[in-house]
Every structure is written in C-alpha cells, then in structure tokens.
C-alpha cells in the first residue's frame, strides 16, 4: 500500500525577475531590461523630486510682487535648476527608459532588448550625467536658464556652465543609446508573425521617439561642447566681440530642443493609445493613422525649430516657413485625438485609474496643443513670446500631457512590474487632486502672460499678483497630488494585493506572462497571428483581481 | 480683472483680433473633444464585467474629414498671423528715429535731436517711431505689452523695429530676454503723449548734442575723414547720399546701404568691399562702442536727404557739427 | 531518468558567441550591424553641427577664412589624408582576413592599421605644435597672422577659423584615439583566435567605425586646407 503524497502547506513562490537574485551587485550589474527599467524609475523619480522642489521655491517667490524671498541671483539659479532637472533628467528619459525599457521586449515577444549591456550603460550615463549636473547646480549654481543663450552663458555668467553642460552631454548619450537600442530591437527582434502592422501602438511610439533621439540629440551634444570650449578656451564661436553669432547658437540649440519636446510627448501618446483601447475593451480606432501620425510628427518636428526665434531678427521669409510648418505639425496630433475619442465610442468603458489619467490627458493635451497654435501664428507670437503664456503652454503639454500619461501608464502596468495592485480608492483621489491642482496652477499663467508678464522674472508689477497667487495655490495642491502615488506605490510593494497575470483583461503579449514576469520573459517564443487589440472576439481570462 | 492689456498701438487691435479668433477655435475644439469624451465615457460605461464592446469598423472617410478640416483651419490661422506679422515688420518711411542701447541692466534711449532718456521713452501718438537698437553685452528684448511690440536686441548687430502709439498714457516697458541677475529690474515706462504735449516735452530740458553732431565728432576723432573725405581721389567711397541707396560690391553683388550694412562696414570692413576701392579699411571692432556706432550711423544718415514725404534738406558736402536732422 | 529535452540540447550546442536573447548568430549579426549603422548616423549629426557653423562663418568671413586656410601645412595635411586612406585599406583587409579564419593575417593588418592611425596622430601633433609656436591658437595669446601672399595682417575673424579648426580636428582626433583603443582590443581577441568564418562581427563593426572616421577626415581636409588655394 503506498502512502499518499502530503499536500504542501504553502505554494512555493514563483521565480520572477525581482527575486531571481539578490544583492546590490545583481542590480547594478544586471543586463535584464526589466531591472534596468526599475533602476531608471528610481533615478528619474529622484531628479523629478529635485525639479519639483525647485518649482515649489519658484512659486513661493512669485506669491508676492517683490523679490523678497530670494536674492535675484539665487532665484535665477533655482529656475535654471528646475528647467534642467525636469527637461533633461526627467521628461526626456521617463517614459522611454522606464516604461519603454520594461515593455518593449515583452510587447514584441522578445527575451530582452538587442543590446542589454548598452542598456545598462545608458542607465549609468543618465545617473552619472544627472548627478554631475545636480552637483554643479547645487554646489556652484547656474543662472543661464535651461536654454544657455549666448553670449550670456559663454562670456558673462558666473555660474557653473561647463560642469552642468558636461552633465547634460553625458545624459545625452544615454538618450542616444536608448533610441539606438529600441530601433534595432524593433527591427530585428519581433516575434514570428508580428509584422509592423501587428505591433502595439506603444512600440510605434517608441520607434518614432527613438528616431528623434538619434537624430536630434547629437546636435545638442556638439552645441554644448562648443559652449564649453568657448567658455574654457575663449574661442568666440558664439561671441559677437570675436566675430561670432549668438543667433547661430539659438539655431543649433533649438534644432534639438524642439524635437526634444516630441521626445517627451510621443511616448506619452503611445501610452494613451494603449490605455484607451484597453479600458474601452475594443480595438483602437484608426490604428494605421495613429501609427503613421507618430512617424509624421517625428519627421515634421525637425522642421519647425525657428518658431522659437520669431523675434530674434531672422528674416521674414524664414519666419513664414517656420510658421506654416509649425501649424502642419499640429495636424497629426489632432488626428490622434480624434481617433482616441472614436475608440471610446461604443466601447465598454471602465473607470479605473489608468483611464482617468488617459481622459485627463486627452482633455489637457487638446487644450494645451491648441494653445500652441497661438504661438505658431507669427503676429501673435511676437506679443506672447518670452511671457508666461509660453510657460503655460508648455506646462500644459509636459505636465498635463506627459506626466499624466506617465502616471496612467505606471498605474496600468504596475501589476505587471511589481506583481501587486495599488489601492484603487487613493489612486482615483490623487488623479483628481492632480487634475485640479494642475489646472489651477497653469491656467492663470495664460492670462498673466497675455497681460504682459515676462518669464524668468523674480519680481513683477503688482497688477499681476492675484493670478500668481492662484497659480501658487494650485502648485501646492499639485505637489500633494504627486506625493500620494509615491507613497502608495511603495506601500503596495509590501502590502498590496497580489495581481493576476492579466488583471485588466487586456490584449498584448505582456499580459500573457506572469505578473511579475520571469527574467527570460517567455518560456517559449510566442507566435503572433491576428490583428492587434483583438477584443471583439472576446478573451478567455478576464477575471479581475 | 481684465484679460487683455490696453490696446495702445496701431497694430494692437489686429493682434487681439487674431487672439480672440484663436480663443474661439481653442474653446470650440476643447469643448467638442471634452464633451464627446465625457459623453462616450458615460454612455458606454461598462455595465457588467463580461461585457464585450461593439466592433466599430474604421472609416477612411472620417480620417480624411478630420484631417482636412484642421488643415484648412490652420492655413487660415497661418495666413492671418502672417498678415498681422507683415503689418508689424514693415516700418513706414516717415518714422521718427529713436536709438536704443541695451546693457545689463538698463535701457539707454536717445532721440535723434539729442534728448537722452534712461529706462523711459517719450513718444508722440499718431507718429511711427522706429527703434534702432544695439546691445553692449548680452541679448535683451524690448517689450511693450500695450503696444504688442517686442524685438530682441542682439549684440553684434542692429535690431530695427517700429510702432505707432495711438493712445496717450503710461505703459510698461519690460526686458523680455533673460539677461542675467537683474533681468527683472530692467524695466521702465513708455509715455505716449499728444503731439502738443510731446512738443512741450521736447522744448523743455537740455537736449544736448544731437546724435548726428556727436557722430560727426567721432568721424573726425577716428580719422574716418582721412579716407572718406569726399574729395576726388579719396581712398574710401563717399558717404554723402549713401544711406538708403544701392552699393556695388567687389564680388559683383549689390546691397542697400541700411543701418546693418553701415554697422558691419565699420566693424568688419572686409565682409562687403565696395567695388573699385582698395581693401585697406581697418576694423574698428572693440575700438568704438555700441553708442558710438549709433552716433556714427546717425551722422551718416544725416548726409542723405530724408524720405521724400516731407521737407527735404539739401545734403551738406562736408560734415558740419551744427546740422540737425530735419523731420517731415 | 528522463533524457535531456531537445531544447536543452540545442542550448548546449549554441556557439559561445551567441548571446542568450538572440535565436541565432545570423540575427545577432544583423542586429549588431544595424546598431553600428545607426550609431554612425548619430556621429554624422554630431560632426554636422560643427560643419554647419563652419559653412556659415566661411560665408560671412570669406577673406579671413581663405587667408587662414592658406596658412595650414598642406603637405602634412595631404600626407595625413593618404595615411588614413591606407589605414582604411589595412582595416578592410583585417575584416577580410578575420572572416577567413586567417589569424596571423588578421593580427598583422590590425597592427598595421594601428600604426597608421598613430602616424596620423603624430603628424597632427606636429601641426598643432607649429600653431602653438606661431601663436595661431585662439584665445588670449592669439596673434593675428599675416597673409601669406601680401604679408598684411589678416582680418580679425581669422581667429574664428582657427577656433573651428581646433574643434573639428580635435574632435576627429579624439575619435581616432577611441578607434585605436578599439583596434587594440581586437588585436587581443584576434590573437586568442576568437574570429572565424562563423563569427567576426566585432572586426566588421570596428571596421565600419574606422571607415567612418576616415570619411570625416576626407571632408575635413578640403574644407580646412584647400580653401581658396591658388598654388600648392
């Protein structure tokens, strides 16, 4: 007679990428794209916090018309810190390096990116570059603004121009290598059966972003190199006293920095495409148009940089060309908004937090994008250039757009990344707090900008105070709104409920793996057939929780 | 609380009209999308966990419609913006000249007749004013919100722009290009006055030397007259009647002698050499400051007759310190 | 006892150069090649910013640039051009040899490439030294040089020519030094016998990089050395 096998009291835990190995070395020397994504998550959150504190200090000063909180030079260093930290060390890397790194191999059925060790190098470059710049900004201070206009930055400023430029230069290579990695991965490592038109739209967005990263970033790299060389060796490339041209600097700078803003928004749009279809539980409307508009935006983005220079004295004809092209680049974005809206039509819409962020994005991005048309219009831009109208416009896109999409994506894929669920009640509360705080912060800035308040002003005429107080009040609310997810995401890693493999009942290869996935992602390479977002035929495992 | 600054210049109203049109377009599309999104989200909310959505077939026609309509609207906005821009960037010929030197962190203004102002500018209404601006150090920007006027002042070149005030009053002047520590202190006032008040203001105060007179002195001090003496066989081309007219260069091109050409010819003479003259003019870069350059240009302009619309004074063949620039 | 699954067997048979995330060497090579080409595109944009600045200033300061260009040592520049072109030949031969498992030939050609690259840098050093001695280095110690033909001082903007000369050739030289480092790494691996018909991707990729750095020089040379030259 045989004895029955004892029933195990506890189910042995699964091996996944988080518990596959322990210790700092296993993280700092990893080649697993998922762990690298987590490293990026920690790094960009840190830089976001620094930039956020700087923003808080700026708004604090602007509560009163007089410059009574900080000395002028200190204030100038603070807004420069805010801009540099947010642009180069948060907005540019965030979605591609955190969500892109984690998801692209999973979404295409691959085991990793094409160059895993270069991926790790990219992270080190961002961390080292960011810490270098941060040290320069805190220790010595830089007061040129994130735009480094010459000859102020090369000849007149007393700030730490060269070290900060070196930090940004290093981080630029992080961006270039990430873009290179994504392009090669998407070209060569898609699973069998996954043609380009079966690829998730998130991947199309990453691809378009990567094109901008590889073509644009080298130009800011060489520009910063020349600024540093001029400052160190008194070369005079941009200094009129030595025959140089300050407007040449502006051309070179904006040749990157305009496409850079599309590096910030294309990934956000890529996230929104995924959220809208998943939470309407139906195929995205106009897949080919959304994919094509991403590529169109990437291409057009390189042709519009002169709209930052309408009052610099460039020729009237140059102004006309840049103006009409700037209007054209708005069209593909409009196409996306219409297609997302059409996706909701006759969908099965569910109000989880990721969808709240997606809807918030659609509203705020539409509004903010339309305010861009004001700036493309030559006659109007002359009045609003370098005022708070501009500040309001770009914050609507970057904060109301990119950050909302980033948070929406983090909430959507958190169960996959951590294997845990975040608390739904608090996540909805914070989404609303963020939405309200954001609008209160930035809407008044449109008004005060048109009234004539210039940007980068540490003191201002009294008649602008009421609108500034509203803006600062909004900023306080927004700050609280950002703290809440930080707290509950960390809380959920220990105390959150375990997540199912596919808690949302969504399509996509990333949901066909366990939550969290094992290191090698897929036990067997998946084979893909059928269209993407294949919801209408129904899914097998839609059980939630 | 008002939402628009005062409209105090001839083009302010045009800028605001475009602004209001864009507000309408923005409001329309934001409300349209916002409403649709909210209505769809509510009307098609998920009613049961197993609910399956309706598969909606894609529509090429719809894609075309919502591409073509925005395209058409953007072309309208572009053309309107361009037309306002042309209005703003074409200075009329009968403008009075004001010369502006920007430096960290103040505005120095000088009227052609010699009146100097610091951080303040008095102008008459109903008369175009042309600002010829230079920077002594970094990039600044002359911004008068009430006029909807803004132009960057870039070192190493002259920036020329114009406005015409329409309403008497006192209007903010801001520096609108970040220029260092006291950027937000680089502010002042523009006073638009009725012609009578403006004449009274001109009469009062000691104008001192006119810009052209100061320029005439510099012309001699820097020995410009030794080559540009306007005598037969002179080593340099004559400057009499030069301003505003065509110049034939040694490389075959023809350019118009405007402020930018004159400035460049002083600091970088090799850039545009006049045909038929030896290439011996030295550069004065660093030897003459921005204010000095403005004075020299004002002097050279005084050697040409003013624009035909108004009383013309005969150009003097040789520099005379007492000569005033006549205004129409 | 169960016999090993076919999947496990295949894994044990995998060539040592195959990284685990690629299904086969062909795919890995395709990815490496695309990656290197994309990287070279970024390098074109990187140098491109300076080429643009050069083109613009050459137009606005034509006489200054032509006069300054004539002061460069044409013989040394032309020699360097030939040195680099030959080094591209030896590099291509190294790629050819490595793909035919010819270890000694591979090492030889790689070392020849390094030698030529070092020669290039040596000649550049000589040129730079000449400029320091003649005070043609931009900055506080710059002295406006005399035109070769007329012996009159050149326009002040000749300093701009030298600024761009040092930045462009300096950046190129840095790329050459990195190239030398990469080739020396290849020498170590080649001596260990790591390259064969099956796998010579690193040699191929470094070859692409080396050819690119050569092409940059082929553009730099006429732009910097041959402006407005009337005589050799």
Q: Which chain B residues touch C if contact means CB-CB below 8 Å?
A: 268, 270-271, 283, 285
Three-state SS letters, A290-331: HHHHHHHHHHHHHHCHHHHCCCCCCCHHHHHHHHHHHHHCHH
Residue B19 makes CB contacts below 8 A (sequence gap 6+) with: A374, A380, A450, B4
Cis amide bond preceding A151, omega within 30? yes
In our burial notation (b when 16+ CB lie closer than 10 A, e otherwise), range B73-104 reads bbeebbebbbebbeebbebeeebbbbbbbbbb
Q: What is the DSSP letter of C231?
A: -
In this predicted structure, what is the pLDDT of residue C11?
Answer: 53
Do the Cβ atoms of A218 and C43 come within 8 Å?
Answer: yes
φ and ψ at residue B122, rounded to 5 degrees: -100, 130
Residue A349 is encoded by which pair of tokens?
């819409």
Do the Cβ atoms of B156 and A245 come within 8 Å?
Answer: yes
In this predicted structure, what is the pLDDT of residue B230?
Answer: 79
In this predicted structure, what is the pLDDT of residue B271?
Answer: 79
User: To probe the interface with A, which of B6, B20, B53, B271 has the most A CB atoms within 10 Å?
Assistant: B53
Closest to A155 (Cα-Cα) out of A254, A249, A257 = A249
Chain A: give the shortest CA distance to residue C71, in Å. Answer: 19
**What number is the ipTM of this complex?**
0.91
Chain A: give the shortest CA distance to residue C35, in Å. Answer: 6
Residues of B in contact with A397 (CB under 8 A): none
Closest to B190 (Cα-Cα) out of B1, B12, B2 = B12
Nearest C-alpha in A relative to C30: A188
- Give me the residue from A184, A217, A230 closest to C38, CB to CB: A184
Residues of C in contact with A219 (CB under 8 A): 45-46, 48-49
Tell me the pairing of strands B116-118 and B254-256: unpaired
In this predicted structure, what is the pLDDT of residue B314?
Answer: 35
Chain B: give the shortest CA distance to residue A127, in Å. Answer: 29
Do the Cβ atoms of B18 and A377 come within 8 Å?
Answer: yes
Cβ–Cβ < 8 Å for B135, B103: yes
Of the pLDDT bands very low, low, confident and very high (cuts 50, 70, 90), residue C75 is: very high
Q: Which residue has the tokens 């048109």?
A: A450
Question: What domains are defined for chain C?
Answer: 29-225 (1.20.120.80)
Q: Quick check: A5 pLDDT over 50?
A: no
Mean pLDDT of the residues in chain A: 93
- Give me the residue from C27, C30, C49 closest to A219, CB to CB: C49
Chain B: give the shortest CA distance to residue C61, in Å. Answer: 6
Q: Quick check: A361 pLDDT over 60?
A: yes
Chain B: give the shortest CA distance to residue A134, in Å. Answer: 21
Do the Cβ atoms of A218 and C46 come within 8 Å?
Answer: yes
Chain B: give the shortest CA distance to residue A519, in Å. Answer: 32
Do the Cβ atoms of C64 and B283 come within 8 Å?
Answer: no
Residue B154 makes CB contacts below 8 A (sequence gap 6+) with: A240, A246, A247, A312, A313, B135, B139
In this predicted structure, what is the pLDDT of residue A241?
Answer: 85
Nearest C-alpha in B relative to A71: B181
Residue A76 makes CB contacts below 8 A (sequence gap 6+) with: A143, A145, A456, A458, B178, B180, B181, B183
Nearest C-alpha in B relative to A242: B285
Helices and strands (H, E) in chain C, number of each type: 7, 0
Residue A475 makes CB contacts below 8 A (sequence gap 6+) with: A55, A56, A59, A437, A441
Q: How many CB pairs under 8 A join A and C?
A: 112
In this predicted structure, what is the pLDDT of residue C5?
Answer: 41
List all residues of chain B from 90 to 129 with a beta carbon under 8 Å from chain A.
104
A186 interface with C at CB cutoff 8 Å = no
Chain C: give the shortest CA distance to residue A372, in Å. Answer: 28
Do the Cβ atoms of A180 and C35 come within 8 Å?
Answer: yes
Residue stretches of chain B with pLDDT short of 70: 1, 307-328
- Give me the residue from C19, C42, C157 closest to A218, CB to CB: C42
Q: Quick check: A109 pLDDT over 50?
A: yes
Q: Quick check: A68 pLDDT over 80?
A: yes
Do the Cβ atoms of B268 and C63 come within 8 Å?
Answer: no
Residue A363 and residue A374: Cα distance in Å, rounded? 18
Residues of B in contact with C56 (CB under 8 A): none
In this predicted structure, what is the pLDDT of residue C232?
Answer: 56
Of the pLDDT bands very low, low, confident and very high (cuts 50, 70, 90), residue A542 is: very low
Do the Cβ atoms of B271 and C156 come within 8 Å?
Answer: no
Residue A503 is encoded by which pair of tokens?
């808690």
Residue C111 and residue B8: Cα distance in Å, rounded? 76
Q: Which residue has the tokens 């959507």?
A: A412
Q: Quick check: A242 pLDDT over 70?
A: yes
- Give me the residue from A76, A366, A459 closest to B33, CB to CB: A366
Cβ–Cβ < 8 Å for A455, A468: no
Q: What one-character-per-residue DSSP string does B191-254 give?
A: EEE-HHHHHHHHHSS---S-HHHHHHHHHHHTTGGGTS--STT-SS---TT-TTSEEEBTTS-E
Q: Quick check: A61 pLDDT over 80?
A: yes
Cis amide bond preceding A424, omega within 30? no
List all residues of chain B from 15 to 44 with a beta carbon under 8 Å from chain A.
15, 18-19, 22, 25-26, 29-30, 33-34, 36-38, 40-41, 44
Cβ–Cβ < 8 Å for A174, A128: no
Residues of chain C by 3-state class (helix, strand, coil), percent to 5: 70, 0, 25
C184-to-C6, C172, C206 alpha-carbon distances in Å:
40, 18, 11
Mean pLDDT for A6-31 is 80
Helices and strands (H, E) in chain B, number of each type: 6, 12
Of the pLDDT bands very low, low, confident and very high (cuts 50, 70, 90), residue A114 is: very high
**Sign of the torsion angle spanned by Cα atoms C137, C142, C143, C146:** positive
Residues of B in contact with C63 (CB under 8 A): 270
Residue A396 and residue A402: Cα distance in Å, rounded? 9
Do the Cβ atoms of B86 and A316 come within 8 Å?
Answer: yes
In this predicted structure, what is the pLDDT of residue B1?
Answer: 57
Chain B: give the shortest CA distance to residue A455, in Å. Answer: 7
Do the Cβ atoms of A373 and B74 come within 8 Å?
Answer: yes
List all residues of chain B from 201 to 240 with a beta carbon under 8 Å from chain A.
none
Nearest C-alpha in A relative to B66: A335
- Give me the residue from C63, C64, C156 closest to B285, CB to CB: C156
Residue A148 and residue A165: Cα distance in Å, rounded? 9
Q: Provide the percentage of residues in chain C whose pLDDT is more than 90.
A: 75
User: To probe the interface with A, which of B2, B25, B26, B141 has the most A CB atoms within 10 Å?
Assistant: B26
Give residue limits of the domains in chain A.
35-512
Cis amide bond preceding C116, omega within 30? no
Question: What domains are defined for chain B?
Answer: 1-42+91-208 (2.60.40.420), 211-302 (1.10.760.10)
Q: Quick check: A332 pLDDT over 90?
A: yes
Do the Cβ atoms of C63 and B270 come within 8 Å?
Answer: yes
Which partners does chain C have (≥3 C-beta pairs < 8 Å)? A, B
Q: What tens digit of pLDDT does each residue of A310-330 get?
A: 999 889 999 999 999 999 999
In this predicted structure, what is the pLDDT of residue B234?
Answer: 84
Residue A94 and residue A44: Cα distance in Å, rounded? 6
Q: Quick check: C169 pLDDT over 50?
A: yes
Do the Cβ atoms of C155 and B270 come within 8 Å?
Answer: yes
List all residues of chain B from 52 to 71 with a beta carbon under 8 Å from chain A.
52-56, 58, 62-63, 66-67, 70-71
Q: What is the dihedral of CA C219, C221, C223, C224, to 10 degrees?
A: 140
Residue C78 and residue C70: Cα distance in Å, rounded? 14
Which H or E element spans position C84?
Answer: helix C74-98
Do the Cβ atoms of C21 and A237 come within 8 Å?
Answer: no
C157 interface with B at CB cutoff 8 Å = yes
Q: What tens digit of pLDDT does each residue of A402-438 get?
A: 999 999 999 999 999 999 999 999 999 999 999 999 9
Chain B: give the shortest CA distance to residue C59, in Å. Answer: 9
Nearest C-alpha in B relative to C64: B270
Do the Cβ atoms of C156 and A243 come within 8 Å?
Answer: yes
Statement: A35-512 belongs to CATH 3.40.50.10480: no
Mean pLDDT for A116-136 is 97
B3 interface with A at CB cutoff 8 Å = yes
Residues of B in contact with A373 (CB under 8 A): 22, 25-26, 74, 77
Nearest C-alpha in C relative to B271: C61
């Amino acid at each position: 007679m045989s004895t029955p096998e004892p029933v195990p009291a506890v189910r042995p835990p699964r091996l996944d990428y988080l518990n596959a190995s322990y210790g700092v070395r296993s993280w700092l020397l990893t080649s697993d794209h998922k762990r690298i994504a987590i490293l990026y998550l920690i790094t960009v959150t840190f830089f976001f916090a620094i930039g956020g504190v700087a923003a808080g200090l700026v708004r604090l000063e602007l509560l009163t018309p007089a410059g009574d909180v900080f000395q002028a030079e200190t204030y100038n260093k603070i807004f420069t810190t805010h801009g540099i930290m947010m642009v180069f060390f948060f907005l540019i890397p965030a979605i591609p390096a955190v969500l892109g790194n984690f998801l692209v191999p999973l979404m295409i059925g691959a085991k990793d990116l094409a160059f895993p060790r270069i991926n790790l190098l990219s992270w080190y470059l961002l961390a080292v570059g960011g810490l270098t710049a941060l040290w320069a900004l805190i220790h010595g201070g830089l007061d040129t603004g994130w735009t480094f206009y010459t000859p102020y930055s090369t000849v007149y400023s007393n700030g730490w121009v060269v070290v900060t430029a070196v930090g940004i230069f290093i981080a630029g290579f992080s961006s270039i290598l990430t873009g290179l990695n994504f392009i090669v991965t998407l070209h060569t490592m898609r699973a069998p059966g996954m043609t380009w038109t079966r690829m998730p739209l998130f991947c199309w967005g990453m691809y378009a972003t990567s094109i901008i990263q590889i073509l644009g970033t080298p130009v800011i790299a060489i520009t910063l190199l020349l600024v540093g060389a001029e400052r160190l060796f008194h070369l005079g490339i941009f200094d009129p006293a030595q025959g140089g041209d300050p407007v040449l600097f502006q051309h070179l700078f904006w040749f990157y920095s305009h496409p850079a803003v599309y590096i910030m928004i294309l990934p956000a749009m890529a996230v929104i495409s995924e959220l809208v279809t998943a939470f309407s539980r139906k195929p995205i409307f106009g897949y080919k148009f959304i994919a094509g508009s991403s590529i169109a935006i990437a291409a057009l983005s390189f042709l519009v940089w002169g709209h930052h220079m309408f009052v610099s004295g460039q020729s009237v004809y140059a102004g006309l060309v840049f103006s009409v092209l700037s209007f054209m680049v708005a069209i593909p974005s409009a196409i996306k908004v219409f297609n997302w809206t059409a996706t909701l039509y006759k969908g099965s819409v569910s109000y989880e937090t990721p969808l709240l962020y997606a809807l918030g994005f659609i509203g705020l991005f539409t509004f903010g994008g339309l305010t861009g048309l004001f700036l493309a219009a030559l006659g109007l831009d002359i009045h609003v250039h370098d005022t708070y109208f501009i500040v309001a416009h770009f914050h609507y896109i970057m904060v109301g757009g990119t950050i909302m999409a980033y948070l929406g994506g983090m909430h959507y894929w958190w169960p996959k990344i951590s294997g845990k669920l975040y608390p739904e009640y608090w996540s909805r509360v914070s989404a609303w707090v963020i939405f309200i705080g954001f609008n209160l912060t930035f809407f008044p800035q449109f008004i005060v900008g048109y009234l004539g308040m210039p940007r980068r002003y540490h003191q201002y005429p009294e008649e602008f105070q009421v609108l500034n107080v509203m803006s600062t009040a909004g900023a306080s609310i927004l700050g609280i709104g950002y703290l809440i997810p930080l707290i509950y995401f960390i809380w959920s890693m220990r105390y959150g409920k375990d997540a199912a493999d596919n808690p949302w009942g969504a399509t996509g290869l990333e949901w066909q793996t366990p939550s969290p996935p094992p290191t090698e992602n897929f036990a067997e390479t998946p084979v893909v057939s059928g269209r993407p977002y294949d919801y209408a035929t129904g899914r097998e495992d839609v059980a939630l929780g | 609380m008002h939402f628009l600054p005062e409209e105090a210049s001839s083009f302010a109203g045009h800028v605001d009209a475009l602004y209001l049109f864009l507000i309408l377009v923005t409001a329309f599309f934001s409300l349209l999308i916002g409403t649709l999104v909210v209505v769809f989200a509510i009307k098609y909310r998920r009613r049961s966990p197993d609910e399956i959505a309706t598969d909606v077939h894609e529509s090429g026609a719809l894609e075309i419609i919502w591409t073509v309509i925005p395209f058409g609207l953007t072309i309208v906005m572009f053309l309107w913006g361009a037309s306002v821009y042309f209005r703003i960037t074409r200075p009329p010929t009968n403008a009075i000249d004001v010369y502006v030197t920007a430096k960290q962190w103040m505005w120095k203004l000088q009227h052609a007749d010699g009146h100097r102002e610091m951080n303040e500018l008095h102008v008459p209404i109903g008369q175009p004013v042309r600002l010829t601006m230079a920077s002594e150090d970094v990039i600044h920007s002359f911004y008068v919100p009430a006029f909807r006027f803004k132009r960057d002042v870039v070192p190493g070149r002259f920036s020329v722009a114009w406005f015409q005030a329409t309403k008497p009053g006192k209007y903010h002047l801001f520096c609108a290009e970040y220029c260092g520590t006291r950027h937000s202190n680089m502010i002042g006032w523009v006073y638009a006055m009725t012609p009578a008040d403006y004449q009274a203001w001109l009469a009062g105060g000691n104008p001192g030397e006119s810009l052209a007179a100061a320029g005439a002195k510099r012309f001699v001090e820097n020995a410009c007259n030794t080559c540009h003496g306007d005598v037969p066989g002179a080593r340099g081309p004559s400057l009499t009647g030069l301003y505003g007219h065509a110049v034939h260069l040694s490389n075959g091109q023809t350019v118009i002698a405007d402020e930018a050409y004159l400035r460049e010819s002083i600091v970088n003479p090799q850039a545009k050499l006049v045909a038929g003259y030896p290439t011996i003019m030295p550069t004065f870069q660093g030897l003459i400051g921005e204010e000095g350059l403005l004075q020299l240009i004002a002097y050279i302009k005084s050697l040409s007759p003013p624009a035909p619309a108004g009383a013309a004074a005969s150009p003097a063949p040789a520099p005379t310190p007492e000569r005033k620039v006549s205004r129409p | 006892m169960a016999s090993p699954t076919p999947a496990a067997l295949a894994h044990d048979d995998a060539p040592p150069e195959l990284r685990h995330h690629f299904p086969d060497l062909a795919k890995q090579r395709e990815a490496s090649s695309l990656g290197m080409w994309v990287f070279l595109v970024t390098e074109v944009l990187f140098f491109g910013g300076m080429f643009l600045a050069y083109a613009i200033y050459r137009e606005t300061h034509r006489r200054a640039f032509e006069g300054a260009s004539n002061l460069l040592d044409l013989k040394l520049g032309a020699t360097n051009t030939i040195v680099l072109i030959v080094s591209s030949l030896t590099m291509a031969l190294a790629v050819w040899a490595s793909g035919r498992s010819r270890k000694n030939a591979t090492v030889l050609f790689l070392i020849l490439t390094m030698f030529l690259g070092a020669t290039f840098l040596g000649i550049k050093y000589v040129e730079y030294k000449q400029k320091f001695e003649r005070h043609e280095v931009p900055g506080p110690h710059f002295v406006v040089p005399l035109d070769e033909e007329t012996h009159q001082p050149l326009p002040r903007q000749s300093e701009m020519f030298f600024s761009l000369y040092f930045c462009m050739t300096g950046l190129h030289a840095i790329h050459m030094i990195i190239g030398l480092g990469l080739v020396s790494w290849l020498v170590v691996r080649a001596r260990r016998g790591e390259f064969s018909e099956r796998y010579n991707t690193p040699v191929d990729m470094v070859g692409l990089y080396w050819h690119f750095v050569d092409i940059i020089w082929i553009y730099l040379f006429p732009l910097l050395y041959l402006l407005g030259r009337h005589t050799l």
